[in-house]
Amino acid sequence: MPEIRFQIQWPDGSKDTCYSPSLVVKDYFVANQTYPLEDFVEQSRTALQIASDRVRAKYGMPCSLALGQLQSIETKATQYQHWSEPQVRVLGFIE
């Protein structure tokens, strides 16, 4: 199963590299595209759950790394919920 990492920039300008065990994230995000925070979190939730489910189908257990990545995204996103129109930029993919 091909892994991928995607680089993001949070509303405060800080950057993170996120992990997915599946290329499915490319179905939900476009490089150099900016997303409203809420949309980014929801799309991350969907993509990383699908990725984890694909690992479960192949190996019999969910992907703890994908679910951990989702938890990290959700936790960090709470820092920006009260900002006026917070945005997350997907900088690119590392395959």
Q: Is residue 55 part of a domain?
A: yes
Task: Sheet containing 4-9: give its strands across.
Answer: 15-20, 4-9, 87-94, 33-36
Structure confidence at residue 48 (pLDDT): 98
Q: Which domain holds residue 45?
A: 36-79
pLDDT digits (tens, 9 = 90+) for 7-46: 999 999 999 999 999 999 999 999 999 999 999 999 999 9
Q: Is residue 12 part of a domain?
A: no
- Distances from the Cα of 89 to the Cαs of 1, 31, 35, 44, in angstroms? 26, 8, 6, 13
Q: Is residue 51 part of a domain?
A: yes
Cα–Cα distance between 58 and 1 in angstroms, integer?
A: 9
Q: How many CB atoms neighbour CB 58 within 10 A?
A: 12
- Number of structural domains found in the chain: 1
Q: Is residue 85 part of a domain?
A: no
Bridge partners for 36 per DSSP: 87
